[in-house]
């Protein structure tokens, strides 16, 4: 099967958050290797495939790496200001969404407690059978466990975000270290990239084609939109 793919462990599903699973086989060319959502593979109907080929991600990543490093070198002060402003906005939005989801989870858990208590009382009164009570209780218990786990994840993200500090200088040090990137290596990818979120393909209106988007989260600075009029080729 050869060496471990350079993108292994770096891709995540933008919808369910699971890692993307590397799919390859003996005799395949590199162009045939691709990733699919781990949830899609494990849970029927749990998510869509989000399938994307290795070469697609590698081409996009190399291009975006050239763009962001060129901009950082040629417009350093503007780059620092851009990253700071964008990161602050993104973090505030993520915190708002996380707080909202956390409150919704707490509310749902409280409702589930009430529902299960009523089921228990109805079972004691003979309004529902033991079998139905057990089946319904198991369903609600499973949902409650999922919500409680999600609550823990959300609280950890909120706590971590409060302590997180943007470190543009550390990213610039990496930019200065790699001055002439011709091709991607595992070392280069992990020096620059924290994670890559992959979205499911969306149909382009009026055509038969589909467009698939990825979002690159860079180490130290997160996802950054580089203005088109400032681009320079690295």
Q: How many CA atoms lie within 13 A of 154 on its CB side?
A: 19
Continuous H helices in the chain: 38-42, 54-74, 76-124, 130-163, 168-177, 186-192
Contact criterion met (CB below 8 Å) for 199 and 50: yes
Q: Which residues, 6+ apart, have CB-to-CB distance to 39 below 8 Å?
A: 13, 16, 18, 46, 47
User: For residue 87, what pLDDT is reported?
Assistant: 66
Separation CA 81–CA 89 (nearest Å): 13
- Going across the sheet that includes 11-13, the strands are 11-13, 193-198, 214-218
pLDDT digits (tens), the chain, 234 positions: 557 789 999 999 999 999 999 999 888 998 999 999 999 999 888 999 999 999 999 999 999 999 999 999 999 999 988 887 776 666 677 778 888 888 888 898 899 999 989 998 988 888 889 998 888 988 888 888 888 888 888 888 777 765 555 578 899 999 999 988 999 999 999 999 999 999 999 988 888 888 999 999 999 888 898 887 654 433
- pTM reported for the whole predicted model: 0.67
Separation CA 76–CA 177 (nearest Å): 15
User: For residue 156, what pLDDT is reported?
Assistant: 81
What angle is formed at CA 162 by the lines to CA 160 and CA 166, rounded to 5 degrees?
90
User: For residue 233, what pLDDT is reported?
Assistant: 39
């Amino acid at each position: 099967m050869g060496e471990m793919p350079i993108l292994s462990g770096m891709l995540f599903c933008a919808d369910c958050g699971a890692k993307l699973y590397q799919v390859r086989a003996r005799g395949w060319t590199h162009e045939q290797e691709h990733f699919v959502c781990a949830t899609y593979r494990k849970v029927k109907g749990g998510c869509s495939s989000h399938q994307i080929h290795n070469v697609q991600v590698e081409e996009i990543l190399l291009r975006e790496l050239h763009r962001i490093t060129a901009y950082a070198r040629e417009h350093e002060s503007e780059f620092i200001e851009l990253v700071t402003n964008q990161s602050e906005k993104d973090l505030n939005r993520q915190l708002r969404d996380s707080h909202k989801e956390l409150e919704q989870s707490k509310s749902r858990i409280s409702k589930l407690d009430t529902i299960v208590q009523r089921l228990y009382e109805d079972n004691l009164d003979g309004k529902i059978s033991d079998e139905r009570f057990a089946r319904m209780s198991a369903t609600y218990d499973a949902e409650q466990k999922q919500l409680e786990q999600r609550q823990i994840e959300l609280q950890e993200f909120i706590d971590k975000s409060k302590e997180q500090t943007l470190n543009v200088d550390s990213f610039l040090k990496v930019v200065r270290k790699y001055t002439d990137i011709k091709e991607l290596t595992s070392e280069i990818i992990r020096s620059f990239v924290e994670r890559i979120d992959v979205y499911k393909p969306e149909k382009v209106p009026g055509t038969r084609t589909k467009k698939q988007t990825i979002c690159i989260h860079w180490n130290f600075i997160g996802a950054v939109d580089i203005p088109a009029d400032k681009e320079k080729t690295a």
